[in-house]
Amino acid sequence: MDFERLIEWAREQGASDLHLEPGLPAAVRIRGELKLSGEQVSGEALVNMTREILGEERWAGLLDRCSADLSKTVKGVRCRINAFKSSRGLGMAVRLLGSPATTLKKLNLHPCLLKLAQSANGLVLISGPTGSGKTSTAAALLQEINLAESRHIITLESPIEYALSPRRSFIRQREIGRDTPSFAQGLFDAMREDPDVLLVGEMREPEVMKLTLNAAETGHLVIATLHSATIAEALQRVVSAFPAEIQPGICAQLGDCLVGAVSQRLAYRREPGIRVPECEILMASSGARGAIRQGQFFKLATVLESGAADGCYSLERYRAWLDLKQDWVRPLTPGPEAAEEPVETMRELRPIAKGVVKPRIKPKVEERTDEDNVMVIDDPNADLSSVIKELERGKR
């Protein structure tokens, strides 16, 4: 059993996930449904394969903690791998990720989400259940910034799923456990690293939530993900993570710094034949901010319905937009042959040294001849109206 061949096979099937368990056939998730295929996986072969993938250091961590996470590019496919112990032995769950050059259009998301990426500062929340594409949406927002603006982007992820290539922006990606011990420490460090944009892979602990809100208040654009079914639930979860006596202050802080929030889930649509995100979108209008400051999250449903002018979408209105959508983008099969779009790269500065100057290239100007039927006015003092009249009479 070869891991690279398994990934290649799963990619050809159009799978989003691959599951390996001793004594069972390999399982792939296609369009949200699990399908078994092939012969039973040998426990010994799975142990050998897992040890080779993890390396000795992560293998030791797996034996100690009974699980290990990592991201790896296999046959041109970016994979998020979770190895763990189960009742049958050592198992593995692999998520096959899309292209790192993904954009909102490529994910078939509403173009109004571009406003979130264009904000100079504040908090953008992306929520949804596990496997709903939150990380892909966050990566798409970062890629939109990367393609359009010269900004310093720092990501904190566990693990790094999309390896972003700097275009116009300067990008640093840090993996929790490898590059920094925790999200909290990574956020502390980031405040001293001159960031413009921060990505917080997942907010779980109150300390991380507090640091995220502080970063959003101090002139940074912060994109954060968390698990919840709706936008109201996501905001309520942030507030309820803190003691009751400080929750009013958290509500005020959240209302002040929120730029927008997205809650999404993946649904299969028969017309394009692909799974696409179905979203709730909340833009931070005055009505939304007021409801959040007062902790009245139940009012956000009304804000979503009545906030079309502000770019808000309820789930029903978003589905109606999908029903009318025609320009579907099918996901490219990730692999070595999938080339990224040519885009403008980050401008290089001149070398800082005496006597080192880049030569200025004089633009080439095509010279015209008489064969080009171009009229040449020899007299610089000629009156333009007189020349036009002569042309009409055929004198020139």
Q: Is residue 368 part of a domain?
A: no
Is the domain of 115 the same as that of 158? yes
The CATH number for 18's domain is: 3.30.450.90
Is the domain of 89 the same as that of 132? no
Is the domain of 14 the same as that of 39? yes
25-35 average pLDDT score = 89
3-state SS record for the chain: CCHHHHHHHHHHCCCCEEEECECCEEEEEECCEEEEEEEEECHHHHHHHHHHHHHHHHHHHHHHHCEEEEEEEECCEEEEEEEEEECCEEEEEEEECCCCCCCCCCCCCCHHHHHHHHCCCEEEEEECCCCCCHHHHHHHHHHHHHHHCCCEEEEEECCCCCCCCCCCCEEEEEEECCCECCHHHHHHHHCCCCCCEEEECCCCCHHHHHHHHHHHHCCCEEEEEECCCCHHHHHHHHHHCCCHHHHHHHHHHHHHHEEEEEEEEEEEECCCCEEEEEEEEEECCHHHHHHHHCCCHHHHHHHHHHCHHHCCECHHHHHHHHHHCCCCCCCCCCCCCCCCCCCCCCCCCCCCCCCCCCCCCCCCCCCCCHHHCCCCCCCCCCCHHHHHHHHHHCCC
Is the domain of 16 the same as that of 61? yes
Rounded-to-integer distance, Cα 80 and Cα 71, Å: 4
Which of 96, 122, 153 is the last residue before a domain boundary?
96
How large a percentage of the chain has pLDDT more than 90? 64
Which of 65, 96, 127 is the last residue before a domain boundary?
96
Is the domain of 237 the same as that of 266? yes
Is the domain of 187 the same as that of 248? yes
Is pTM beyond 0.85? Reply is no
Is the domain of 150 the same as that of 240? yes
Is the domain of 188 the same as that of 272? yes
Q: Is the pLDDT of residue 141 over 80?
A: yes
Is the domain of 90 the same as that of 194? no
The CATH number for 315's domain is: 3.40.50.300
Q: Strand pairing of 197-200 and 221-226?
A: parallel
Is the domain of 220 the same as that of 119? yes
Domain count within the chain: 2
Least confident of 58-67, 341-350, 385-394: 341-350
pLDDT tens for each residue of 208-219? 999 999 999 999
Q: Is residue 378 part of a domain?
A: no
Q: Is residue 336 part of a domain?
A: no
In this prediction, residue 378 carries a pLDDT of 53
Q: Is residue 207 part of a domain?
A: yes
Provide the domain limits for residue 222.
Answer: 111-324
pLDDT tens for each residue of 93-127? 999 987 777 899 999 999 999 999 999 999 999 99
Q: Is residue 343 part of a domain?
A: no
In this prediction, residue 20 carries a pLDDT of 95
Q: Is residue 76 part of a domain?
A: yes
Confidence of residue 31 (pLDDT cuts 50, 70, 90): confident
Token digits for 387? 């020349």
Is the domain of 149 the same as that of 71? no
In this prediction, residue 161 carries a pLDDT of 87
Q: Highest mean pLDDT: which of 18-27, 37-46, 370-379?
A: 18-27
Q: Is residue 369 part of a domain?
A: no
Q: Is the pLDDT of residue 339 over 80?
A: no
Is the domain of 88 the same as that of 118? no
Which of 42, 66, 96 is the last residue before a domain boundary?
96
Q: Is residue 36 part of a domain?
A: yes
